[in-house]
Structure 1
Amino acid sequence: MKLLYIMLATFGGLFAGYMVLNNFTFDNISFSNYLISTLFILLMCCLLAIGLGVIVSYRRKNSDKNVMTIRQYYQYKDIKGTR
């Protein structure tokens, strides 16, 4: 239900933006062009945000790949000390 409210608010915002830009006159063809271009821009922004999220999560995942835990360090130290 929350997603429906978000979608309705988004559409309402798009419609209000169109009406403000066109001095509160409505034309089906120009509204269609406005809606297509605006949704394309929103789609590109969402794809960019998803891409950045993937890059950040990949870097976080690989940043501590070669770091020992405390237990691993002491096990390594014990093995190295017995030789």
Structure 2
Amino acid sequence: MTYRRLTGLLVLALTIPSLANAASTTLVRTLGHLLLGKGLSPTQARATAHSAAHHYHGATLQPILARIKGIPRLPARYYANGALKAPVAGGLS
């Protein structure tokens, strides 16, 4: 293997994790906004999004976003003052 090819592979190996992390940051922000739209408080939405990012790295968050988008708005009895009640929010997160 030539020195040039070996250097290229090394640069590629160092670049790929940073690209996955950049995608993860965007997906975490999107996940937080989706959770806010479902009725979680800003603190709960942020904590849940960061927890998901810790367990699912990079593009593996994409299927989770699709599932959350598919959750319908819950019945009115689960909400108090526009936010989900604590037990319901805990279950969703």
The TM-score bracket by the shorter chain reads 0.3 to 0.5
Q: Which has the higher helix share?
A: 1
RCO higher in 1 or 2 (8 Å CA, sep ≥ 6)?
2
TM-score by length of 1: 0.42
Question: Between Structure 1 and Structure 2, whose CA radius of gyration is higher?
Answer: 1
TM-score by length of 2: 0.39
